[in-house]
Homo-oligomer: A and B are copies of this chain.
Amino acid sequence: MKELIERIRREGKVLDGGILKVDSFVNHQVDAGLMDACGREFARRFAGIGATKVLTAEISGIAPALAAALHLGLPVVYARKTKPITMPDAVLLTVAPSHTKGVMTELIVSPEYLGKGERVLIIDDFLASGATIMGLVRLAQAAGAAIVGVGALIEKSFEGGRAVLAPLGVPVESLAAIKSMENGKIVFDE
């Protein structure tokens, strides 16, 4: 998606450890108009998959998932990383390694909002190793729901997440795919 790629080119910064900083428009400050345009693009790409719910992980997944859900006319559920007191005692829980924190984090969903018969579209900010998204896949599968698609704003193709998701046999879409960040230079897969 041209608008997103241009913005990454202009404001994205490559930090140590292979981290792409996009805090000025995705991860701390959010460009609401750009996010809305990304949501519209996700809705266009996933129009035909018959999704009934969008699933994401707090915190950074919320903005793109909400925008996609709005344009698809669906509710969105965001997996929590700590169990709030409003959640029932029996929950769906898995653990996934956090890319930017270097630790394992829990992903928790209440069975009240994810269950059998749901057709789940997973949306997240990044598709890198695929570890967080596979965590969401496990939660949906544990709930008896079907995964019908995976979308990410930004894919780091060189981290191999797409191959990890391939066995799911569902469409995987990213709006900006980066094939290399060597020496601080961002090269897109165009």
- Which residues of A are interface residues toward B (Cβ below 8 A)? 15, 17, 19, 21, 23-25, 27-33, 35-36, 54, 58-59, 62-63, 66-67, 69-70, 73-78, 80, 84-87, 100-101, 109-110, 112-113
| Structural contact, B74 and A32, CB atoms closer than 8 A | yes
| Structural contact, A66 and B35, CB atoms closer than 8 A | yes
CB distance from A115 to the nearest CB of B (A): 12
Residues on B with C-beta less than 8 A from A29 are 75-77, 112-113
Q: Which secondary structure characterizes the binding site on chain A?
A: mixed
Do A30 and B69 contact each other (CB < 8 Å), given the known contacts A21-B86, A24-B113?
Answer: yes
Question: Whole-angstrom distance between the alpha carbons of A59 and B66 in the complex?
Answer: 13
| Structural contact, A66 and B69, CB atoms closer than 8 A | no
